[in-house]
Amino acid sequence: MNDMVNVCQARSTRGAALVWSSLAFFGGFAGVSAFGPIVSQLKEGLALSPLLMGLLAASPALSGSLLRIPFGAVVDRVGGKKPVLLLLGLAAAGIAGITLMFHLYPQPSPAHYPLFLFFGVLCGSGIATFSVGVPSVSYWYPQKRQGSALAVYAGLGNLAPGLFALLLPFLVIRLGFSLAYVLWFAAIVLLMILLFAFMRDAPYFQYREMGIEIDPDALLHACGQELMPTGTARQSLRKAAGDYRTWVLTLLYFISFGGFIALTVWFPTYWAEHFGMGMVAAGGLTALYSLSTSLLRVVGGFAADRWGGERVTMAAFAVVALGALLVLLAGPLRSIAIAGAMSLALGMGFANAAVFKLVPKYTPAAVGGAAGIVGGLGAFGGFVIPLAMGLFVKISGPAGYPQGFSVFVLFGLLAMVLMAMLNRQAGRTGQ
C-alpha cells in the first residue's frame, strides 16, 4: 500500500496527467487544419473538382478516425504514453512531407494531388490521440468527475483546429507555405520531446511496469482509480462492440464530433465560395466556430455532470438542427449564416461533451475499446460528411453550398430520436 501511495504522490498527479493528455491531443489535432485553409488555394493549380476538394480537405479525418479504434483499445494493454508518441511521430512525418512539397513545388500541378492526399492522411494520425486520451484520463479520475475532466481534456485539445485555422493564413501570407509548415513541424517535435520526458500513465500501468502486484481495492484507496482495464485490446474491443449502446453513442458522435471536424474543414471553402471572402476572413470565421465549439465542450462537460449526459445530449442536438436550418435558409444574409454557425458550435460542443460522459458510464469494463469505437467511427463523419456536402455542390453548383447543411438538420433530428430511446432504456435499467 505504501508503494502505491508513493507512486501516486511522487510520479504524477491527476492534474498533471490531464494537462499532458490535453497537450498531446492539442498537438495531434492540429493536423485536421492542415488543408482547410489552403484547399481553396490548391484548387486552381491541382484542377480540383468539388468532390476532389472535399476528399483532400477530409483526408486528415480519414486516418484520424480509423486509427482511433486500435489505438484506443491498446491503451488498456500498454497505457497511453507510447501510442501518443507514435501517433504524433506519424503526424510530424506528414507535416514534413507537406513542407517538402511546398519547397520543391511552389506551383503544384494535378500530378501532385496523390502526394498531398498521402501527407494529409499522415497528418491526420495525430487526431487519433483523442481515443488514447479518453481512457488515459478516465483511469485517473473517479466516475463522478469524468464528465468535466474529459470535457476539459477534449475541449482544450479541440482548440487546435480553430487556432490553426486562424494562424495558418497569416503565417502563409507573411512567411510563405514552406516556412509556415517548418514552424509547425518544429512545434510538434518539441511537444513530443516534452511528452516523452514528463507524461505519465495512470497508476495501474505504472505499477504493472514496476512489477507491483495490483489490488483493485488498494488502488482505489491509494489513488482513487475506480476503473480498471481488463484483458487485451482485442477483448476490450469485443466487449464494447457487444453492447448495442456503444453503437448508438458512435452514431451520435459521428454526427456531433464528425460534424465538428467536417465543418472545420468545410467552412473556409463555404465562406470563400458562397460569400466571396478572402482567406484571412474565411479563416477568422472558421476559427470563431471551431474555438467556440471547443470551449463550449468544456461547459457542456460540467452541464452533463450536473444534469446528466442524456438530457444534455438531447437538448444539444435540437440546437444543432436549429443552427443548420438557419444556415440553410440564410441565403445571402451573412449575419443569419453566422448566427447559424454559432448555433451549430453551441449544439456540437455540448453534444461532444455529453456523449463522452456516457461512454465510461455505459461501458465501464471496456473504456478503451469503447473510446476507440465511438471516437474512431464517430470521427469518421469528418471524412464522410464533407464528401456528401461536396456532392451537393456538384449537383447544385456554387449556389448549393448552403444546401449541404440540410444534412445536419436531418442528423440532428435523428440524434434526438436515438437519444430518447437510449434515455428510456437507461431509465428502465436504472443505469
Q: What is the pLDDT of residues 397-413, one digit of tens each?
A: 656 678 788 889 989 99
For the ranges 24-38, 154-168, 192-206, the one whose mean pLDDT is highest: 192-206
User: Tell me, what's the pLDDT at 340?
Assistant: 93
Assigned C-alpha cell, 224: 482513487
Under 8 Å between Cβ of 380 and 65 = yes
Assigned C-alpha cell, 197: 520526458
Cα 68 to chain center, whole Å?
10
* Percent of all residues in the chain with a pLDDT value above 90, rounded to a whole number: 13
Place of cell 500498454: 78
Q: What is the pLDDT of residues 304-330, one digit of tens each?
A: 888 888 889 999 999 999 999 998 888
Q: What is the pLDDT of residues 30-71, one digit of tens each?
A: 766 666 556 666 766 677 776 777 778 778 877 887 888 888
CA-to-CA distance for 254 and 82, rounded, in angstroms? Answer: 27
CA-to-CA distance for 225 and 202, rounded, in angstroms? Answer: 8
DSSP, res 36: T
User: Tell me, what's the pLDDT at 395?
Assistant: 76
For residue 430, pLDDT beyond 60: no
CA-to-CA distance for 387 and 390, rounded, in angstroms? Answer: 5
Q: Which residues contact 114 (CB under 8 A, 6 or more apart)?
A: none
| Torsion 227-298-20-291 (CA) sign | positive
Q: What is the pLDDT of residues 232-249, one digit of tens each?
A: 667 777 787 777 888 889
Q: What is the pLDDT of residues 128-147, one digit of tens each?
A: 898 888 888 877 777 777 67
Task: List the single range of 60-64, 189-193, 299-303 with lowest mean pLDDT.
Answer: 60-64
User: Tell me, what's the pLDDT at 10?
Assistant: 40
Closest C-alpha to 347, from 332, 325, 362, 363: 325
The pTM of the full predicted model, rounded to 2 decimals, is 0.72
Q: Please calculate the CA angle 371-231-140 and round it to the nearest 5 degrees.
A: 50
Higher-confidence position of 42 and 342: 342
Under 8 Å between Cβ of 353 and 305 = no
Under 8 Å between Cβ of 390 and 262 = no
User: Tell me, what's the pLDDT at 11?
Assistant: 44
Higher-confidence position of 339 and 35: 339
DSSP, res 211: T
Instruction: Tell me what the mean pLDDT of segment 333-356 comes to.
Output: 91
Task: List the single range of 86-90, 191-195, 304-308 with lowest mean pLDDT.
Answer: 304-308
Closest C-alpha to 261, from 237, 293, 234, 229: 293
Closest C-alpha to 233, from 366, 47, 115, 110: 366
For residue 427, pLDDT beyond 70: no
Mean pLDDT of the chain: 79
Terminal Cα-to-Cα distance of the chain (whole angstroms): 32
Superfamily of domain 2-429: MFS general substrate transporter like domains (1.20.1250.20)
